[in-house]
Structure 1
Amino acid sequence: MNKKKVWEGNVRTISIAMSSLVLAVLVGTLGFMLINDAYTFIDALYMTVITITTVGFTEVHPMTDGGKLFTIFLILISFGIFGYLASAVTRFLLDGVFRRNLKDYRIVKSIDKLNGHVIVCGFGRNGKQACIELLEHGEQVVVVDSEESSIDKVRMFPELLFVQGDATQEEVLSSANIAAAKAIITAIPNDAENVYVVLTAREMNSSIKIISRSEKSQSDHKLKRAGANNVIMPDRLGGQQMAKLVVQPDVVEFLDNILLQSTQGVKLEEVSCKDLAVCFIGKSIRELNVRDKSGANIIGLKDEEGVYIYNPSPEIVLDKCFHLFVLGNKEQVGNLMQLLLNGK
């Protein structure tokens, strides 16, 4: 059964039980006042409460036969109401709905505090794998999916935050704190929905990086026109990977070992030069002396025009628009970043 319906059903049951209890108190109060004129409102309310709760204190005024019969009636209906309320509250707690919704409330608060996180829309095979890779690299991830079954799978990953809803809707992406996110991955199987998500995301955050999945080759250009920075076709990538394993198996495995491993060991990292130390502006890669000072190796770069240069010449002059591709372990890459920032 849909957990939202379970929650709504339990809340409705408890509301009915509470309303019945309030109604019983009102009926009891009015009944005692009508049966015996000596009862004030406070007296009648007091008698009703001690009768319903079966506390058994002495009556405020002597009971007539009519008052005794009314008291018996009030006790009987109150037993039924309390039993109904107790079963409703027990079912509410045993179903785990209260605990789950309390956890969801805390998740909402956690998402509101995020900054520089990654949003993954769709928790299918591709979306799930993307989340696992992002978590291994220390990224904060928020999953957006409309399916209850998918959200149940997300709950199995304590590190993942989530929003249940349609990612094409602005309010849903807003709940995922898209304004503070650095990237969004749209891994929904439907290309049309991915286009809507890309359009909405680009409108809500003009600087966000958007990676989109595409099932059909003709959707590639549409997604890029909608605002996607990169479009991935899983079937095409799978075919290319298999072909390369035939032609260049060792090269593919070598690159996979570098790219697909977690933060441990050697990795290929992109390093921006936007905060390049003043002493390195106008200097060449040779003068940076990367290998000796950090232990890392610069194996490529992307210049200000977006052109990729592989195995760049040591004579290339550094620029703040450059992005360097560096090979090294975590410590070596960290040393290089410090070198670029501080000049030493």
Structure 2
Amino acid sequence: MFKTGQNLNLIIALSLLLLIGFTGIAGYMAIEGYTLLEASYMTVITVATVGFKEVHPLSDPGKVFTIILIIFSFSIFAYSLSTITSYLVEGRIKEFFKNNRKTGGITKMKDHIIIVGFGRNGQQTAHDLLLLNKKVVIIEKSHELIVAHEKEKVIFVEGDATEDEILEMAGIQKAGALISTLPIDADNLYVVLTARSLNAGLQIISRASHDSSERKLITAGASHVVMPEKVGGTFMASLVAKPDLAEFFHHLSIEGNEGVNLVEVVCSDLPSEFQDRTIHDMSIRRLTGANIVGFRTPEGQYIINPPGETVMAKNAKLFVLGTPDQIENVKEIIRQKHKH
């Protein structure tokens, strides 16, 4: 969690205090020839205006420097003291350093997923991505909502996702995708525009509430647009028209420890001995019990239940259906092949 306004005030306050301190110490050492300890003592009693006696009588240049230091440090010291006291009283000092350590990890992230908005859609999206072991960064305006979910295994950035600074804090340049789940289409539009301007190659998925917004979001730079109400309505209709089929697809998960999983395998990630070979050569069903139910060609064409002679080209994808154990066996075959 990173609260830009309040944390920025603390950073400014501490920076100004350090600046005044270094200026005072350097000035007394250069003008009066004081030692580091003497210069530090003189700086502290001058900035704090406590009126203690100076270490040695000051020269005229030293007196002028002291006057200037007092004038500039008075307001700075008062501002810094009030800001730091506010953090201490409200118990935010510990939170500040904890959040800085946490958000500091974003700079080391790559191909992570940024979710804008942590309402019901955002929370479900984060939950499913975490099941896939994806690294997730949440951008959320509501401080109360962030505090309520601070134990989640995600990193929060508090602020407005339409601002370049906030998206950069979330690591937009190195992110793998951005998902905007805000309830208002206009807000999603601004997020998409801003994100696309910062990362031209980013995959951007946006929520939309109205049909008229879909075209605008695509034009603004969204890769895909999802309308939760339409998806939900279609599923409810399916429960009436084809209840068993709808229930089957409902229990079909993209990853997890229960039910049946459907995963994608990028052919370019396969060991070299499998690339440009046929699906039959890999013997997925015989070795694991899982089924290859779909195939995406490098040109983007989808083939349902591909035949065994289908060639696994470099940029193609396989869609594998199976139980969690079967899917794990598929991954293990790939891992073992990589070792060889």
Q: TM-score, normalised by structure 1?
A: 0.72
Q: Does the CA contact (< 8 Å) of 2:293 and 2:304 recur in 1?
A: yes
For residue 279 of structure 1, give the secondary structure of its aligned residue in structure 2. coil
Match of 1:323 in 2: 317
CA distance in 2, matches of 1:227, 1:179: 15
CA distance in 2, matches of 1:91, 1:194: 35
Alignment partner of 1:144 is 2:139: yes
Match of 1:42 among 47, 51, 55: 55
Unmatched tracts of structure 1, length 5 or more:
31-40, 45-84
For residue 274 of structure 1, give the secondary structure of its aligned residue in structure 2. helix
Deviation by residue 1:226-255 (Cα, 9 ceiling, x = unmatched): 222221101111111110111122222222
Match of 1:38 in 2: none
Alignment partner of 1:28 is 2:69: no
CA distance in 2, matches of 1:171, 1:5: 15
Match of 2:227 in 1: 233
Aligned-partner residue type, residue 250 of structure 2: D
CA distance in 2, matches of 1:95, 1:183: 36
For residue 206 of structure 2, give the secondary structure of its aligned residue in structure 1. strand
Q: Does the CA contact (< 8 Å) of 2:276 and 2:314 recur in 1?
A: no
Alignment partner of 1:194 is 2:188: yes
Unmatched tracts of structure 2, length 5 or more:
22-43, 58-80
**Residues 29 and 93 of structure 1: CA distance in aligned 2, closer, same or farther (over 3 Å):** closer
Match of 1:112 among 92, 107, 111: 107
Match of 2:238 in 1: 244
Deviation by residue 1:91-143 (Cα, 9 ceiling, x = unmatched): 74352211111111112211111122110001112112211222232221100
Deviation by residue 1:158-188 (Cα, 9 ceiling, x = unmatched): x110111211122211110112211111011
Q: How many pairs were matched up? A: 287
Aligned-partner residue type, residue 318 of structure 1: M
CA distance in 1, matches of 2:273, 2:323: 25
**Residues 286 and 26 of structure 1: CA distance in aligned 2, closer, same or farther (over 3 Å):** closer
Q: TM-score, normalised by structure 2?
A: 0.72
**Bigger CA radius of gyration:** 1
CA distance in 1, matches of 2:50, 2:98: 39
For residue 273 of structure 2, give the secondary structure of its aligned residue in structure 1. helix
Percent identity between matched residues is 37
Alignment of 1:17-166 (within 5 A): 22=45, 26=49, 28-29=51-52, 41-42=54-55, 92-157=87-152, 159-166=153-160
Q: Does the CA contact (< 8 Å) of 1:286 and 1:314 recur in 2?
A: yes
**Residues 320 and 340 of structure 1: CA distance in aligned 2, closer, same or farther (over 3 Å):** farther
